[in-house]
Amino acid sequence: MRIFYLVFSILFISCVNPFAPGLDRSTEESELLGDQRTIEGVFQNFRYAYTFKDTAVYSRLLDENFVFVYRDYDKGQDISWGKVDEMRATYGLFRNTQNLDLIWNNIIVDTGDSLYRNVVRSFNLTVTFNPADIVKVDGRANFILQRRSPSEPWLIVFWRDESNY
């Protein structure tokens, strides 16, 4: 019987690789993400999504009825699309860039109440496609955020891109 325990112990111990470290849980996603029940948490999560090219986090920022609008200066008209197209465009951006560096600057406008907010904030975005192709975008993001109750997370319902690009 002793031999059985000895063999079992050796087999059990041999299944543990002392040279394979455990997962580092000190920088879990939850520690890097903001509390989306606050406006600043929304912006923190937006930056996280861009920095780590995380479409799952980005998708959780957008309401199902989300609308994105930007000005096409060549055509002289506004172009808009919904959440599905926004996710497709963002996935393409995340996939085709080496690095995205988003800096949120001052909040220019912040009006509303505990369930509806209009927030306009300036930003700087550096898009690195490769070391020879770097695009810098400066501008303002005009957001409308909503939630059903103060205990719910804020969701972006509307985003007008007011950038120089």
Q: What is the pLDDT of residue 113?
A: 98
Query: Is residue 79 in a domain?
Result: yes
Query: Is residue 5 in a domain?
Result: no
Name which residue leads in pLDDT, 1 or 43: 43
Query: Is residue 51 in a domain?
Result: yes
Q: What CATH number corresponds to the domain at position 152?
A: 3.10.450.50
Query: Is residue 153 in a domain?
Result: yes
Query: Is residue 18 in a domain?
Result: no
Mean pLDDT of 93-112: 97
Q: What is the pLDDT of residues 112-158, one digit of tens each?
A: 999 999 999 999 999 999 999 999 999 999 999 999 999 999 999 99
Query: Is residue 139 in a domain?
Result: yes
One-character DSSP codes across 34-101:
--TTSHHHHHHHHHHHHHTT-HHHHHHHEEEEEEEEEEETTTTEEEEEEHHHHHHHHHHHHHT-SEEE
Query: Cβ(160)–Cβ(140) under 8 Å?
Result: no
Query: Is residue 8 in a domain?
Result: no
Q: What is the pLDDT of residue 31?
A: 73
| Residue 60 structural domain | 35-163
Query: Is residue 107 in a domain?
Result: yes
Domain count, the chain: 1
